[in-house]
Amino acid sequence: MRYGLRLTLAAAALTAGLANAALALQPLRDVPEIDDNMLWVALAIEISDRCDSIAPRRLKGLSFLWELKERASDLGYSDDVIRAYVDSEAEKDRIRERGEEYMRVRGLDPTNDDDLCELGRDEIQKGSQIGAFLRAK
């Protein structure tokens, strides 16, 4: 077999393997390292939006989101798939429900701004991922 033909067959096999891998990717919502981190960002945004005594660390948050996007790309997700996940109203609603549950498990009321501020202060003090996106004013 000629060298050029072997290279062509190897490239075809690699392309087929990559296509099969892309088909096997699970939805981003089922990838904890992506979805959980999106939850932490969403909670930090909600806290900074509703709590006057806490401000967002915008550059840190934006940098984190770019790193998260890069990680999803490294896992094999296309820009279109990532964008669809981020822009999906259904996913936003699901993340909101997860955030509300996160608060309820801690004995806090997600509809109460004071409880949200308490969560923010606790997360800042713990040095959690949520707290890393926030600062007390």
pLDDT tens for each residue of 98-132? 999 999 999 999 999 999 999 999 999 999 999 99
Q: Of 123, 125, 106, which is closest to residue 40 (Cα–Cα)?
A: 123
Report how far apart the first and last C-alpha atoms of the chain are (Å, whole number): 71
Considering the chain, what percentage of its residues have pLDDT values greater than 70? Answer: 83
So what's the pLDDT on residue 24?
Answer: 73
Tell me the HSE value of 22 on the side-chain side, using a 13 A CA sphere: 12
In this predicted structure, the answer to whether residue 5 has a pLDDT above a threshold of 60 is no
In three-state secondary structure terms, 137 is: coil
Residue 85: which pLDDT band, with cuts at 50, 70 and 90?
A: very high
So what's the pLDDT on residue 20?
Answer: 46
pTM of the shown model: 0.80
pLDDT tens per residue, range 9-40: 444 444 545 544 444 799 999 999 999 999 99
The answer to whether the beta carbons of residues 103 and 109 sit under 8 Å apart is: yes
In this predicted structure, the answer to whether residue 87 has a pLDDT above a threshold of 50 is yes
- Residues facing residue 83 across a β-bridge: none
Work out whether strand 134-136 and strand 54-56 pair parallel, antiparallel, or are unpaired: antiparallel
Query: Cα–chain-centroid distance for residue 117?
Result: 22
Helices (H), 1-137: 3-24, 32-50, 58-74, 79-87, 89-105, 113-126, 129-132
Radius of gyration of the CA atoms of the chain, in A: 20
Per-domain boundaries in the chain:
26-136
